[in-house]
């Protein structure tokens, strides 16, 4: 069986959208491939004195609407096709939220858990030394992603500033607050998803105060999703999982207790008083809201028919395959697609860029209000497009986003 290729999935999604919009062959060709990409290999001195070679990537998919924007992932299984796919999804995400940005993504093949703090810093700085000519506040602005943190962003910003000979806070987002970060950035991805879930619940007539939630993946987004679903709406989080398995409690789980368990034991499966379940079992639970918040390709044609949730809110990137989409749509599962549901992160990253350019920091309340307005508008636009074309929510999100990118390409004379 061939290995899953996320970029092929991204291209197939684009092809479907191009068919709906009846795009010409030249426009289709531009939308299917990255505008530019950089592959780098760089040596890093390890703590034991040895040298180790690391490989990294930076992809700028489409910058018709503005500077490229997208995170940097540190992952042992990172591939160029994963980075390409994520850069494509960032392009559509920024367009869907009507941000004046294009899409980009970066990555380094490395296992963060095997690196010391000093080794991690050297890898972070070396990556910037090798891609600095491709990035910048007006060309391409990276951000944190899988296994990268505000501290790593601080090192990267500092390294770029050293090379430029002046402080360049605007080159990176997701930074600590005291060096140009934005209030509200930490939980932005999950909070944006909560606003989208609230809008979907209104449409479906779901009382969120009585709703049950299952969360697959308990990293940053999953943790905040658990906390916020309870804090904002009074939802009952009945199941959570990570790479080692999951836990379930019909009476509900305490998100804070789950977080402490994850911190202390490196997995949620050790939570006292909860029933252990597998990730596959979690995806099939009879809950109102299912939130995949880990990596891609977890809901496929093999398990999509088992999904019983009324709302599938994709905080992860690419968790659902095209074949699974068709099954979910047929079964009446309301999917909030990834590049709508998890767009809160890039939206507040954009706010961070604006604040850096202004040399002024907004209050948290203002950040949340602006984020809510963007998410509500985007959800409404996707829902109306879905109803207009009689297509599923993901296809509708693509239609709205691609229409905006194509409009910019036409006005700039690219097509």
**Residues 219 and 332 occupy one common structural domain:** yes
pLDDT for res 1: 53
The verdict on 333 and 214 lying in the same domain is yes
Q: Examine the domain organization and report whether 200 and 55 are in the same domain.
A: no
Residue 295: predicted pLDDT: 75
Domain boundary among 285, 310, 341: 341
Domain at 320, CATH number: 3.40.50.720
CB of 145 closer than 8 Å to CB of 78: no
Q: Which of 136, 169, 202 is the last residue of a domain?
A: 169
CATH number at residue 149: 3.40.50.10860
The Cα 368–Cα 363 span in angstroms is: 9
Interior angle at CA 198, CA 249 and CA 306, nearest 5: 50
Does the residue 147 lie in any domain?
yes
- State which residues form the domain around 236: 188-341
Domain boundary among 169, 203, 229: 169
**Which H or E element spans position 276?**
strand 275-277
Of 415, 394, 391, 393, nearest to 405 by C-alpha is 415
CA dist., res. 33 & res. 27, Å (int): 11
Residues 165 and 199 placed together within one structural domain of the fold: no
Does 194 lie in the same domain as 165?
no
Instruction: Say if 286 falls within a structural domain.
Output: yes
pLDDT of res. 121: 98
Question: 355 in a domain, yes or no?
Answer: no
- Whether 27 is in a domain gets the answer no
Are residues 229 and 235 in contact, defined by beta-carbon separation less than 8 angstroms?
Answer: yes
| Cα–Cα distance for residue pair 43/127, rounded to 1 Å | 10
Domain co-membership, 325 together with 211: yes
Q: Do 235 and 157 belong to one domain?
A: no
Helix, strand, coil content of the chain in percent (nearest 5): 50, 20, 30
Residue by residue, pLDDT tens for the chain (415 residues) are 567 788 998 999 899 999 999 999 999 999 999 999 999 999 999 999 999 999 999 999 999 999 999 999 999 999 999 999 999 999 999 999 999 999 999 999 999 999 999 999 999 999 999 999 999 999 999 999 889 999 999 999 999 999 999 999 999 999 999 999 999 998 999 999 999 999 999 999 999 999 999 999 998 899 999 999 999 999 999 999 998 999 999 999 999 999 999 999 999 999 999 999 999 999 999 999 999 998 778 899 999 999 999 999 999 988 998 899 999 999 999 999 999 999 999 999 999 999 999 999 999 999 999 999 999 999 999 999 999 999 999 999 999 999 999 999 999 999 9
How is residue 183 written in tokens? Answer: 């209030």
| Within-domain flag for 1 | no
pTM, whole model, 2 decimals? 0.93
Total number of domains constituting the chain: 2
Residues 6+ apart with CB under 8 A from 340: 93, 96, 196, 378, 379, 382, 393, 397
Does residue 150 share a domain with residue 48? yes
184, 370 contact by CB (below 8 A): no
Asked if residues 151 and 161 have their Cβ atoms less than 8 Å apart, the reply is no
DSSP sequence for 334-372:
EEE-HHHHTTHHHHHHHHHHHHHHHT----HHHHHHHHH
Query: What are the phi and psi torsion angles at 56 (to 5°)?
Result: -145, 170
**Run of H or E including 312:** strand 311-313
Reduced to 3 states (helix: H, G, I; strand: E, B; else coil), residue 10 is helix
- CA separation for the pair 318, 146 (Å, rounded): 14
Q: What is the DSSP string of 138-158?
A: TTEEEEE-TT--HHHHHHHHH
Residues acting as catalytic residues: 105
Cβ partners under 8 Å of residue 287, min gap 6: 212, 213, 214, 238, 239, 308, 309
Query: Would 177 be classed as within a structural domain?
Result: no
- C-alpha span between 264 and 261 (Å, rounded): 5
Report the Cα 11 to chain-centroid distance in Å: 18
């Amino acid at each position: 069986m061939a290995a899953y290729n996320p970029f092929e999935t991204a291209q197939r999604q684009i092809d479907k959208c191009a068919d709906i919009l009846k795009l010409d062959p030249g426009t289709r060709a531009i939308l299917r491939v990255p505008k530019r990409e950089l592959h780098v290999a760089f040596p890093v001195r390890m703590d034991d004195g040895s040298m180790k070679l690391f490989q990294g990537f930076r992809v700028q998919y489409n910058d018709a609407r503005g500077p490229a924007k997208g995170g940097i992932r540190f992952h042992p299984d990172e591939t160029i096709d994963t980075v390409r796919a994520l850069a494509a999804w960032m392009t559509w995400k920024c367009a869907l939220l009507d941000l004046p940005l294009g899409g980009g993504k970066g990555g380094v093949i490395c296992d963060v858990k095997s690196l010391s703090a000093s080794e991690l810093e050297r890898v972070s700085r070396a990556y910037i030394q090798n891609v600095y000519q491709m990035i910048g506040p007006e060309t391409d602005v990276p951000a944190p992603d899988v296994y990268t943190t505000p501290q790593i962003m601080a090192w990267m910003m500092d390294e770029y500033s050293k090379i430029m000979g002046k402080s360049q806070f605007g080159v990176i987002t997701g930074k600590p607050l005291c060096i140009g970060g934005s209030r509200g950035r930490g939980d932005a991805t999950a909070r944006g998803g909560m606003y989208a879930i609230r809008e979907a619940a209104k449409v479906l007539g779901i009382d969120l105060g009585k709703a049950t939630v299952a969360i697959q993946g308990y990293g940053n987004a999953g943790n905040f999703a658990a906390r916020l679903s309870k804090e904002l709406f009074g939802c009952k989080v009945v199941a959570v999982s990570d790479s080692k398995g999951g836990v379930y409690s019909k009476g509900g789980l305490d998100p804070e207790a789950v977080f402490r368990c994850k911190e202390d034991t490196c997995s949620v499966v050790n939570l006292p008083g909860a029933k252990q379940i597998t990730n596959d079992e979690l995806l099939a639970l009879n809950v109102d809201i299912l939130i995949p918040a880990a990596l891609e390709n977890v809901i496929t044609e093999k398990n999509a028919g088992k999904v019983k949730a009324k709302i599938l809110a994709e905080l992860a990137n690419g968790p659902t395959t095209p074949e699974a989409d068709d099954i979910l749509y047929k079964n009446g599962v309301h999917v909030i697609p990834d590049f709508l549901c998890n767009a809160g992160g890039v939206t507040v990253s954009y706010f961070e860029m604006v604040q850096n350019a202004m040399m002024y920091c907004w209050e948290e309340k203002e950040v949340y209000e602006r984020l809510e307005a963007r998410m509500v508008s985007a959800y409404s636009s996707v829902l109306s497009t879905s109803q207009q074309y009689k297509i599923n929510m993901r296809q509708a999100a693509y239609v709205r986003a691609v229409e905006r990118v194509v409009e910019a390409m036409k006005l700039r004379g690219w097509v």
